[in-house]
Chains A and B, each alone.
Chain A
């Protein structure tokens, strides 16, 4: 039987993180990308809701939702991916809601960050740690 590393890990019913270093999730590239969006401004944390699974069922398509009433733009970052920027949504003045849902690929356990730019030029941020594992054994 020939196994790739990923197969071998999944074989061992134990369940396997693709990375052992999630604590370093907010890597420099992610922080830089966010700073580029906010221009280094202070960010608040109220008024923005990020919905993400705690543990990804499939790291290749993780459902992420974000809701920031009154935002003119919302940017999503996968801070542990090689390219942290995922998408930026912009909302025109006639948008009924400032909400978006998508699925993103996560290379490993990491923080997903959403940053909203509000009409008054202020910023709001929410983040969630999404664990990426290959398998496991439940009770």
Chain B
């Protein structure tokens, strides 16, 4: 019997007859022969310093499918430039052949067929193999974790992040920054930080009462014969986008002046290289490094963008390493005389059927899952539809979640948060309890039911839209649009706040939303303390059990203009 790995190699070898012109660096090598671990890891070491970046793992210890966005609108100066380029435009921009491994890894088109051919991606045991391989060549390579690591799965929820802490400690992280980590509460964060063998960096994390720095802003490492400062930047909008009652003692913010101050401080210390490990999001980072002087490399996170080449902003290189363990970035730098003289970069795709799992890490992951194994793997239903979330507007997972809310909570309108995490299922897949947690896991998952006027609903849509489509990145929080069930609307993304939303329609009877009428609205992930209701994953499980097989109709309820 042919193993999956052999099958993959055979099918890719056959595909090379289609030609190899115009392929990007790593796909060319793969398509020329076959997809092998050696090729994925192939890298001609460069200079004297190596950075390894991984970010937004969202507690996905096992391989997953993750469909990259079909809609990722950039506004203002970000219009039409990475990461706001998707599908065919993305392939053209980076010279990637359609249907190739990197087309599968980096774009959405033909995702189902390619997913079946190339298999799942990620898995922290595969990531461990990649990290070990790089460290065998560059023993003092710095492994930097951009945050959103402890949250996003059923096991991380059950262990309050401990499973991922154990995994990342074993992986050998040198420093991290944070976002969803804080949703376990400030006491839990501090409890874990005490135990970490590496710093939990955040130059922008301040004491809320005294407005003074509260966490280590940076750490200086000696590596490759030079001194490298790694400055942490936590998610700036923590108390706005997530429940601030969970971390009342801390204040965040972009704090551009503070970043400049810290860069100046480490420069004065005489470091040779300044790296910023950021959870600002891509557009915010692009703006920040255009204004803060002296950062050589910014490792960006939060917005889940996988960009195959560094983006240059002035003298700074911006590295975006995707999410969910799908990618690891290796950045080799030539640092001499206190300056970055050159770089070489590779966004390494973690094809889980090609990269050999590291046995020790695989054993640790299995041990972490063992107490919950039966619960995790229980099959709740099946799907005939592709289930994904990522994209500016409703994904199919969100459609299913909104259907579940409308039906189980007897509501007229459902709201589901536009978070960018949430893994993908292919048609024909079983839906397990773990799969449902992968798109809903959180410490504030109560599914509320309340009444709102049409005017209030409009205010919410306008406000969330401004968090995404404000032309100044500093006013963007880095999520996607709130997902709506039971109601359609039009949105003109080019307009200012208050003018983007129109044609709000109640889908059940086609009536226009009345600004003054009250509607029964149910949703989840409220940032309000004391929100009541069943947990969202239980609501979805109950719904899926009733319908048995998920089969979604195309959703055309959101009409987008102003592109």
Contact, CB under 8 Å: B281 / A139: yes
Q: Would you call B381 an interface residue if the criterion is a C-beta within 8 Å of the partner chain's C-beta atoms?
A: no
Given the complex, which residues of B lie within 8 Å of A129, measured CB to CB?
475
Q: Tell me the bound Cα distance from A63 to B532 in angstroms.
A: 32
Q: Write the B449-473 contact mask toward A (1 if CB under 8 angstroms, else 0).
A: 0111000110111111011000010
| CA–CA, A10 and B464, complex, Å | 12
A133 at the interface (CB under 8 A from B): yes
Judged by a CB distance under 8 angstroms, whether B410 is at the interface is no
Determine which of B463, B472, B477 lies in contact with A138 in the assembled complex, contact meaning CB atoms within 8 Å.
Answer: B477
Question: How far does the alpha carbon of A90 sit from the alpha carbon of B448 in the complex, in Å?
Answer: 51
Q: Assess the B459–A137 pair: CB atoms within 8 A.
A: no
Alpha-carbon distance A92/B62, docked complex (angstroms): 65
Q: Determine if B216 is an interface residue (Cβ-Cβ < 8 Å).
A: no
A6-60 residues with Cβ-Cβ distance < 8 A to B are: 7-17, 20-23, 51, 53-55, 57-58
A22 touching B179 by the CB < 8 A rule? no
Partner of A12 from B235, B415, B462, B478 at Cβ < 8 Å: B415
A53 to B255, CA, bound (A): 7
A96 at the interface (CB under 8 A from B): no
- CB within 8 A of B527: which of A3, A101, A136? A136
Using a CB-CB cutoff of 8 Å, which residues 105-139 of chain A contact chain B? 129, 131, 133, 135-139
Residue B252 interfacial (CB < 8 Å): yes
Q: Is the CB of B417 within 8 A of A11?
A: no
Q: Is the CB of A1 within 8 A of B450?
A: yes
A57 contacts B527, CB within 8 Å? no
Set B252, B478, B525, B527: member contacting A139, Cβ < 8 A: B478
Say whether A94 faces chain B, with CB atoms less than 8 Å apart.
no
Give, as a whole number of angstroms, the nearest-CB distance from B516 to chain A: 13
Q: Which of B462, B464, B521 has the most CB of A within 10 A?
A: B464
For the A-B complex with A11-B448, A63-B211, A136-B467 known, give 20 more contacts whose Cβ atoms are closer than 8 Å: A1-B448, A7-B528, A8-B450, A8-B456, A11-B450, A12-B415, A13-B415, A13-B527, A14-B461, A15-B241, A20-B462, A20-B497, A55-B477, A57-B208, A58-B239, A101-B211, A135-B528, A136-B527, A137-B417, A138-B238
Q: List 10 A-B contacts (CB under 8 A).
A: A9-B460, A12-B457, A13-B415, A17-B459, A54-B253, A57-B208, A138-B241, A138-B479, A139-B302, A139-B480
